[in-house]
Amino acid sequence: MNKEELELIQNTIDYHFDNDDLLQQAFTRRSYTEENGSENNEVLEFIGDKALDIVVMKVLMKRFGHITDGDYQEFKTKYDEGKFTEIKKELVERKMLSRCIDNLGFNQYLIMGKGDKKKNVQEEESVKEDLFEAIVGAVAIDSDWDFNAIEEVVKMMLDFNAFFNKKENEIEYVQEVQEWSQKNHNELPNYSFYETYDGYNCTLYLPGINYRFDSNAKSKAGARFLAAKEAYEYLDYNDLLYNMEDEVGEPDYERAINQLQELYQKGFINKPEYVFEEEQDYSGNSIWVCTCYINGIDEKFTNESSSKKESKKDSAYDMVCYLLERSNPNEEDNYYEEDEWDD
């Protein structure tokens, strides 16, 4: 990684290394060191795994436990051991840590050997989980086990409030802004933080946008969420967010059915529906008539063919062209024929 990338990662987690070689090591997989020498991130993963457990336990106990009043001041918790085990497992499971790395966009900076690159292992959940833990481990070593520093980094990478409050949008705003930044400029958003009298301020800069987004909250994660939300709303207001064409590309006749399904899965449209009717021509051969419609879309498209599959594909392609505001090059212009018939 170059210095700019190292600095961007440190800004994102709001921890600046005294020895940034440790951060570089956290991103280095064994496959690279087997080909080129030096150290990899496996021991840092081990360290980070243990440090993460301690932070999660502290957060759980602080959130759900307290010292009782009275003569006997005992530690009392809302849940029993079994429930805490369940919550902890969900917080540190592979899927959760992998999703956090996706939200941060860090897996693109992994330093890998040729075999790993060929297999695109940076997209595997286990690899992203390892990266999460290695970063925490690197912070632990660099800070000489400063628990406050470790805890703050974990809270920046793993948004506990979003998890406990089930506020899906908190992760969504950060992730949407990050994906926009990478797709349009191949860069990560740039976050910076400073402490205020009542919490934290977060300033967010997006590449290519001559505007800064400032927000304040009691926690760093909360300030980041508000800044990302402000940036998302700015992009939305100025029509700079993803559109349907970004997701599926130009209308493609052979992929039209799949393109509609992709748009549905991405949340741009309701589920495409197809209605078929079988008719016969003058010779008694089957003619399939397919109508494609989508709830919430005014237009419907009907096509016929001797093949059921082709009639569906024709109707889906017409719908894709309509949604992406493209003309259908396969559509015959019957304007003059209709006029001549009318005459």
Report the relative pairing of strands 272-280 and 301-305 from DSSP bridges: unpaired
Kindly report, residue by residue over 178-187, the tens digit of the pLDDT: 888 887 787 8
Average pLDDT for 222-234: 90
Percent of the chain whose predicted confidence (pLDDT) is above 70: 92
User: Is 81 annotated in the active site?
Assistant: no
Return the pLDDT at 188: 86
What pLDDT does residue 339 have?
38
pLDDT for position 103: 82
**Alpha carbon of 245 to those of 242, 264, 325: distances in Å?**
8, 13, 10
User: What's the pLDDT band for 173 if we cut at 50, 70, 90?
Assistant: confident
Q: Distance from CA of residue 126 to its chain's centroid?
A: 16
Determine the pLDDT at residue 330.
Answer: 59
Query: Which is nearest to 189 in space by CA: 237, 150, 225, 153?
Result: 225
- Residues β-bridged to residue 192: 203
21-35, 184-198, 206-220, 320-334: least confident range: 320-334
d(C-alpha 98, C-alpha 242), whole Å: 23
pLDDT at 329 over 80: no
pLDDT given at position 27: 97
Q: Quick check: 170 pLDDT over 80?
A: no
- pLDDT of residue 338 exceeding 70, the answer is no
Taking only the tens place, the pLDDT of each residue in 261-306 is 888 877 778 899 999 999 998 888 999 999 999 988 889 999 999 9
Please tell me whether the overall predicted TM-score, pTM, comes out greater than 0.85 for this model. no
Catalytic residue among 14, 45, 49, 176: 49
Is 133 marked active-site? yes
| Average pLDDT over every residue of 246-273 | 86
Among residues 45, 130, 133, 230, the one annotated as catalytic is 133
Buried-state track 216-243, b at ≥16 Cβ within 10 A, e below 16: ebebbbbbbbbbbbbbbebbeeeeebee
Q: All domains of the chain, ordered by start, with CATH?
A: 1-158 (1.10.1520.10), 164-242 (3.30.160.20), 245-342 (3.30.160.20)
The values of phi and psi at residue 120, to 5°, are 55, 45
Extract the tokens encoding 167: 């506020």
Mean pLDDT of the chain: 87
Mean pLDDT of 2-16: 92
Residue 260 predicted with pLDDT over 60: yes
DSSP code of residue 111? B
Q: Is beta strand 212-217 parallel, antiparallel or unpaired with respect to 272-280? A: unpaired
- Work out the percent of the chain whose per-residue pLDDT is above 90: 52
Across residues 102-127, what is the average pLDDT?
A: 91
Range 100-108 average pLDDT: 88
pLDDT digits (tens, 9 = 90+) for 43-97: 999 999 999 999 999 999 998 998 888 788 899 888 889 889 989 998 999 989 9
